[in-house]
């Protein structure tokens, strides 16, 4: 009986340590994301077309299609957004189109997803 309790105790300890490390690594990744600056794109250097972009910062992952016509962003379609609770961040694409810039405010309550969406758009437009 003592062996069984010892084995169960070791398993619980290992799971606890692994879970703690996972949470710490995830939080570190998200903290770095928030600090990452997003430089704007010079649309004068972007030819007409539809461009694919993606960006991931665990646990958020985004894939986009960005359409440019006459050096202006005319459409942004989010084709994939693994977001947890960041669904409201998808509204940021309208801000980018309205301002023709990546220098827009992130969506309150969805900071991580907002930043990942902006970085995916940048990835699409910058070779």
pLDDT for 24: 73
Q: Where are the beta strands (DSSP E) in the chain?
A: 49-57, 60-69, 72-82
For residue 47, the enclosing domain spans 43-125
Q: Is the pTM of this model over 0.75?
A: yes
pLDDT of residue 27: 74
User: What is the domain count for the chain?
Assistant: 1
pLDDT of residue 104: 92
CATH classification of the domain holding 80:
3.90.1010.20
pLDDT of residue 6: 80
Is 111 a member of any domain? Answer: yes
Consecutive 10-residue averages of pLDDT for the chain (127 residues):
82 83 74 82 95 92 97 96 82 95 84 92 94
Question: Is 93 inside a domain boundary?
Answer: yes
CA distances, 112 to each of 1, 12, 62, 90 (Å): 48, 31, 11, 11
């Amino acid at each position: 009986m003592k062996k069984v309790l010892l084995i169960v105790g070791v398993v619980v300890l290992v799971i606890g340590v692994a879970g703690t490390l996972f949470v710490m690594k995830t939080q570190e990744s998200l903290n770095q994301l928030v600090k990452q600056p997003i430089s704007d794109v010079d649309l004068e250097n972007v030819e007409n077309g539809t461009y694919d972009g993606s960006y991931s910062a665990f646990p958020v992952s985004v894939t986009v299609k960005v359409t440019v016509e006459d050096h202006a962003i005319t459409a942004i379609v989010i084709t994939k957004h693994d977001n947890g609770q960041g669904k409201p961040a998808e509204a940021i694409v309208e801000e980018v189109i309205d301002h023709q810039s990546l220098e827009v405010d992130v969506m309150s309550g969805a900071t991580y997803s907002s930043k990942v969406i902006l970085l995916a758009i940048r990835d699409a437009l910058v070779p």
